[in-house]
């Protein structure tokens, strides 16, 4: 793998989420500033315009003010159609009491927004493209990156650092191969590829991880606007093994996100929903539906 990139060098980015898109954006910008042309190809088998986990990168979907400001400085302006909710502040709820949390500067209007990483919950009736990840991919495509709907199966690194990297991938059910000057791993723990590169000459070690839980609760836009009022609720209720949880408003839905000291299961979600401090925020008599968009993604709890 040649780290001294030259004019017309090839870069393959494995992973089309924000990490891959932002890398591609900055790489293309820096190449242009140095009067060099680089060819960037992004490989990702996930289709972000699909609903549910199949089109989603499985996260809570909250963009901080700092991130939004940095995106805007780079000319990456998120359109209103991709924004689910503007957030004014947080509410921290314990077993005993709750407290609202707002920006310390009086009069400051926060720029915090919520998004869907994919094209909305699995059973939603949304008809427009609302995916945040798809927006970023389309942005870097306009900057010159090539995006291929492909699943990477192998990455072969030569012992000679000047040699090209060989990548085996599957596109449209057909196994293919390409060589590149530089490969960028912009994928996370929730992919089978990570198991295939552990123990290879990269020196990569998989970090310890736990499974979290994200679920989409359909409560209706009017109910959410009346009861949540542009607020993200954060809970620390002492429910083992849940460390903290959050209610994140997104249009007709509230995303509930649970993070624990060990793997979170659906049973933990049910227990959380039944807690008095949680159930009082939901419609009277409400219970988890059978048609529930839910996922249990891994997050790292140690260094790679």
Ordered domains of the chain (ranges, CATH): 9-58+133-197 (3.50.50.60), 88-109+209-300 (3.30.9)
Is the CB of residue 9 less than 8 Å from the CB of residue 39? yes
Q: Give per-residue pLDDT as tens, 118-176.
A: 999 999 988 899 999 999 999 999 999 999 999 999 998 887 778 899 999 999 999 99
pLDDT-wise least confident of 112-121, 177-186, 201-210, 278-287: 201-210
What pLDDT does residue 3 have?
56
What pLDDT does residue 261 have?
93
What pLDDT does residue 40 have?
98
Q: Give per-residue pLDDT as tens, 54-105.
A: 899 999 999 999 999 999 999 999 999 999 999 999 999 999 999 999 888 8
User: C-alpha angle 248/252/255, rounded to 5°?
Assistant: 25
Inter-CA distances, 69 with 66, 109, 137, 273, Å = 5, 13, 19, 34
Q: Which residue blocks in the chain are alpha helix, DSSP H?
A: 18-33, 65-73, 132-143, 193-197, 221-227, 266-274, 276-279
More confident residue, 7 or 134: 134
Q: Where are the beta strands (DSSP E) in the chain?
A: 9-14, 38-43, 62-63, 85-87, 89-94, 98-101, 112-114, 146-148, 150-156, 165-171, 174-180, 182-185, 209-211, 213-218, 231-236, 242-250, 253-260, 293-295, 298-300
Backbone angles phi, psi at 129, to 5 degrees: -85, 115
Give the distance, in angstroms, between the CA of residue 139 and the centroid of all CA atoms in the same chain. 16
In this prediction, what percent of the chain has a pLDDT beyond 70?
99
Is the CB of residue 23 less than 8 Å from the CB of residue 13? yes
pLDDT band at 231 (very low <50, low <70, confident <90, very high): very high
Task: Give the chain's mean pLDDT.
Answer: 93
pLDDT band at 53 (very low <50, low <70, confident <90, very high): confident
What pLDDT does residue 137 have?
97
pLDDT band at 8 (very low <50, low <70, confident <90, very high): confident
Q: The whole model's pTM is what? A: 0.92
Q: Give per-residue pLDDT as tens, 280-299.
A: 999 999 999 999 999 999 99
């Amino acid at each position: 793998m040649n780290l001294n990139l030259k004019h017309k060098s090839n870069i393959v980015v494995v992973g089309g989420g924000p990490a891959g898109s932002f890398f591609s954006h900055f790489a293309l910008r820096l190449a242009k500033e140095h009067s060099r042309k680089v060819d960037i190809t992004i490989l990702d088998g996930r289709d972000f315009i699909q609903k549910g986990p199949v089109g989603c990168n499985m996260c809570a979907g909250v963009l901080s003010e700092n991130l939004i400001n940095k995106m805007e400085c780079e000319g990456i302006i998120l359109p209103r159609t991709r924004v689910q909710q503007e957030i004014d502040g947080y509410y921290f709820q314990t077993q005993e009491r709750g407290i609202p949390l707002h920006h310390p500067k009086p009069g400051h209007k926060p720029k915090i927004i919520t998004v869907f990483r994919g094209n909305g919950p699995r059973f939603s009736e949304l008809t427009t493209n609302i995916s945040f990840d798809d927006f970023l991919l389309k942005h870097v495509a306009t900057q010159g990156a090539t995006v291929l709907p492909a699943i990477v199966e192998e990455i072969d690194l030569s012992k000679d650092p000047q040699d090209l990297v060989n990548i085996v991938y599957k596109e449209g059910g057909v196994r293919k191969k390409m060589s590149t000057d530089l490969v960028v791993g912009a994928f996370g723990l929730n992919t089978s590829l990570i198991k295939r590169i552990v123990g290879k000459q990269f020196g990569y070690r998989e970090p310890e991880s736990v499974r979290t839980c994200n679920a989409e609760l359909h409560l209706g836009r009017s109910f959410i606007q009346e009861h949540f009022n542009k607020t993200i609720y954060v809970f620390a209720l002492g429910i083992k093994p849940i460390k903290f949880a959050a209610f994140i408003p997104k249009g007709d839905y509230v995303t509930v996100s649970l993070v624990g000291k060990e793997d979170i299961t659906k049973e933990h979600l049910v227990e959380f929903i039944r807690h008095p401090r949680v159930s009082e925020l939901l419609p009277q008599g409400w219970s988890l539906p059978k048609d529930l968009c839910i996922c249990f993604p891994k997050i790292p709890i140690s260094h790679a």
